[in-house]
Structure 1
Amino acid sequence: MGLTDLYTPKQIKVLKTAVTKDWRFMINHGAKRSGKTVIDNDLFLMELKRVRRLANAADVKVPMYILAGFSSKSIQNNILQELTNKYGFEFTFDKHNSFMLFGVKVVQTFTGTIAGLGAIRGMTAWGAYINEASLANREVFEEIKDRCSATGARIIGDTNPDNPNHYLKTDYIDNDDPKARIYSFHFSIDDNTFLDSKYVESQKAGTPSGMFYDRSIKGLWVSGEGAVYRDFDERTMVEEHIDLPPGANVYCGVDWGYEHKGSIVVLADDANGNTILLEEHTKQYKEIDYWVGVAKEIQRKYGKSIPFYADSARPEHCARFVREDIDCKYGNKAKLSGIEAVAKLIKQGAFFVSRDTTTSFFDEIYVYVWDPKTGEPVKINDDVMDAIRYAIYTHHHVTSKITTFKA
């Protein structure tokens, strides 16, 4: 069995560079499902064996190596479980969540928050593997880099693209100073030649246009430009009136407001996988009593058990809803992930709007645009957009336990 049976041409290029060049950083970046993590997982094993040889020469009994990821779940899913499935490793963890492999102590740290510093502060590391590197808190990333001070220590990283002004892009991937000894490789989804062609075709067809397509498919570090929901087509996605489909699943999104507008949206998922914006209630300068009345009317119309996914910024309002026997849950506010969830429905032609029961949706959808400086939507006239995002992303995509507010 040759290399071409195990790796794609891009992965072979990475592998050859790793074993023939002198490097400090090896960063593989680009599209989802493009093969970055697969080659980095194997490089991780190769690096542990190399570290053991270096430690033997230096008469070090237990060299330490940093395994970093956004969370314990991401390390488990992206690295450890994949290695178990591929090679049959069984990892035994100590009370600090570290494990031994090939005679090297692998210390796990989580880069999602500043708390990740605690696991590695003070240690001398012989190398590091940073998964999902662009999601790393910068202080934790820099600490990992500084801790890799043993002779010959090297750092592997993989990441999906982010804003082109991200520190990982500007300070590392784009750093062509030979003294920095940084090698980076860009991956697009087409670089993964082992993927089924129908899967690739489906991914390309179903990924929203613009920034999401450029990042997820092409693997480019780009900012958003123009309309956030550029695939929205009023000609095909809007009907004058849409009745509640039989057996549809109904849920709501809530964006609290006063000085700026507040909004409650009513959405329904039909049996064909479509999501329909059935109603939208948007008003300015309204107290919580008004919104309780709106929610009660929605309950009378669609059933008392429907969930309301609300902005957690006003916990007192959530508490009032709960006291009024309204099923109020905190909506997940992950901005880009939530926008992508909505944008995918729109791209797939699975999002529809009932015109006669909406008031501000059409005032917002066409002015909801990207801010090229921040990589996020401009924070103006976005109340309905936020309510829709909280509802769809939380109801469809968040698999962890949803926080129900306790009054």
Structure 2
Amino acid sequence: MLDLDALPLSRKQLRSIGRATARINLWHGSVRSGKTIASLLAFVIAVATAGPSGLIIICGRSLQTIERNVFEPLQDAALFGPLARHIHHTRGATTATILGRTVHLIGAADTRAEGRLRGLTAQLAYVDEATLLPEGFWTQLLARLSVPGARLYATTNPDSPRHWLKAGYLDRAAELNLRAWHFKLADNPSLSPEYVADLSAEYVGLWRRRMIDGAWVVAEGAIYDMWDERAHVVTELPEIRTYWVGLDYGTTNPFSAILLGLGTDDRLYACDEWRHDSRAAHRTMTDAQYSAALRAWLDEWRHPSAGPGTPPGVAPEWTFVDPSAASFSTQLWADGHQGVARANNDVSDGIRSVAAALAAGLLFVHESCTGLLTEMPGYSWDPKATERGEDKPLKVNDHSADALRYAVHTTAHEWRHLLTAPKEAHDE
């Protein structure tokens, strides 16, 4: 049923599959390096030979990520050949069938998920993106793998070198019943040079070292270390074909709105900014007052190159609001503001989107965005979070930076293809 020689596998993948016989088997390294395919094949082989005692479990950040990262590849005949016909899962179901065996699916988004493991006895477990799971869940899962010969199979992209998985397990591999394999892009011979170039363009700085080079490296210093006022700040704007607004809500903290535009030159521009700092102004504003001020700002905004007879006003396609500001979104809708949506607030991915656009010469900031220009050079990683193995920005002077992140990341599907498009030198 399963002929490994017939599958498009590298020597490193085959070696790891054949040697994945430890209690903990861990594949780590860069994205698209072949680690997931190798780990899934090793897991399926283990399922095929497992005895009747104990449960078989697949864990991930959520049921949706398990479906995307585990079952979509397993059911792809181009990847797994005839084996794919023996993988059965109904989207949304918490169980699946692999080679006739029932497999239980568990999402582990937070520490509460640990309770789903209590009381069960398992013989096999597969963990997708292990660094994204709570440490307590991982510890409890290992405790539940109590059947003789029980094994855990896991994959992950690298994280901080102080992450619990690196410090507590990978670095202690010699002391534990653990085998690990480190993969790089070069270990996946099926990738085309064009794809590798495109993927490499999407990751810069910290993420490039982790996701492309496969290194466990620490986040330190400036988040946007590629930021250069001489290169990224402009005094003029091209014609803009699409506008969006990113909005970070604040009452005692500053309220910031960034008007982001996609120019006819296929570049992104932070065109203007509206900010209210209640502490500096010694005056707080209600949701209704913020809504009216935002509307007035957009109604009065004029493109810097607009002629004297051009009427003012801009109508953004979407306004992306800080997800925690539900009441303000309701106020905007009540006031007839069109295109209000929750911003994508995945902080790490959002920072990566902004960093990639800056590094690629795709994102620029108009000189009128004074709050944003003040914040960008000092937007830094939190050293205390880094000591805990976490990547978090310092929560100081970040309101305009957050508003920019909301707008840039939530619209990434509109512009990400431009990262690898050839660009002429930018002229102000």
Given residue 359 of structure 2, which amino acid in structure 1 is its aligned partner?
A: K
**1:276 aligned to which of 260, 269, 282:** 269
The reply to whether residue 263 of structure 1 matches residue 263 of structure 2 is no
1:64-213 to 2 correspondence within 5 Å?
A: 64-85=55-76, 86=80, 87-89=83-85, 90-92=87-89, 97-117=94-114, 119-178=116-175, 180-208=176-204, 210-213=205-208
Q: Distance in 2 between matches of 1:227 and 1:9?
A: 39
Say what the alpha-carbon RMSD is for the aligned residues.
Answer: 2.5
- Which residue does the alignment assign to 2:347? 335
1:223–1:372 CA contact under 8 A, matched in 2: no
Q: Distance in 2 between matches of 1:218 and 1:389?
A: 25
Given residue 65 of structure 2, which amino acid in structure 1 is its aligned partner?
A: S
Given residue 31 of structure 2, which amino acid in structure 1 is its aligned partner?
A: K
Given residue 37 of structure 1, which amino acid in structure 2 is its aligned partner?
A: T
Q: Distance in 1 between matches of 2:48 and 2:202?
A: 41
Given residue 48 of structure 1, which amino acid in structure 2 is its aligned partner?
A: V
Given residue 234 of structure 1, which amino acid in structure 2 is its aligned partner?
A: E
1:7-406 to 2 correspondence within 5 Å?
A: 7-18=9-20, 22-51=21-50, 54-55=51-52, 60=53, 63-85=54-76, 86=80, 87-89=83-85, 90-92=87-89, 97-117=94-114, 119-178=116-175, 180-208=176-204, 210-245=205-240, 248-285=241-278, 286-288=284-286, 290-300=289-299, 301=301, 302-304=313-315, 306-327=317-338, 328-355=340-367, 357-374=368-385, 375-397=391-413
Q: Distance in 2 between matches of 1:371 and 1:397?
A: 29
Q: Shift in Å at residue 376 of structure 1?
A: 1.7
Q: Distance in 1 between matches of 2:90 and 2:271?
A: 51
Give CA deviations for 1:350-402 in whole Å, capped at 9, x if unaligned. Answer: 101221x221122111111222432222222111100001112123359xxxx
Give CA deviations for 1:53-112 in whole Å, capped at 9, x if unaligned. Answer: x33xxxx5xx52111111122111111121111333240559963233334321111122
Q: Shift in Å at residue 250 of structure 1?
A: 0.7
Q: Shift in Å at residue 181 of structure 1?
A: 0.5
2:30–2:183 CA contact under 8 A, matched in 1: yes
Structure 1 residues 381, 44: CA separation in 2 closer, same or farther (over 3 Å shift)?
A: same
Q: Distance in 1 between matches of 2:6 and 2:290?
A: 61
Q: Shift in Å at residue 28 of structure 1?
A: 0.8
TM-score, length basis structure 1: 0.86
Q: Distance in 2 between matches of 1:91 and 1:393?
A: 35
Give CA deviations for 1:178-215 in whole Å, capped at 9, x if unaligned. Answer: 4x21111222222222211222223224422x211111
Aligned residue pairs total 382
Q: Which runs of 4+ in 1 moved over 4 A?
A: 1-5, 92-96, 301-305
1:100–1:106 CA contact under 8 A, matched in 2: yes
Structure 1 residues 311, 323: CA separation in 2 closer, same or farther (over 3 Å shift)?
A: same
2:237–2:366 CA contact under 8 A, matched in 1: yes
Given residue 66 of structure 1, which amino acid in structure 2 is its aligned partner?
A: I
Q: Distance in 2 between matches of 1:93 and 1:144?
A: 24
Structure 1 residues 318, 206: CA separation in 2 closer, same or farther (over 3 Å shift)?
A: closer
Query: SS of the residue aligned with 1:6?
Result: coil
2:67–2:91 CA contact under 8 A, matched in 1: no
Structure 1 residues 114, 278: CA separation in 2 closer, same or farther (over 3 Å shift)?
A: same
2:274–2:294 CA contact under 8 A, matched in 1: no
Given residue 285 of structure 2, which amino acid in structure 1 is its aligned partner?
A: E
Give ranges in structure 2 of 5+ residues lacking alignment.
279-283, 302-312, 386-390, 415-428
Q: Distance in 1 between matches of 2:359 and 2:380?
A: 17
1:299–1:306 CA contact under 8 A, matched in 2: no
Give ranges in structure 1 of 5+ residues lacking alignment.
399-407
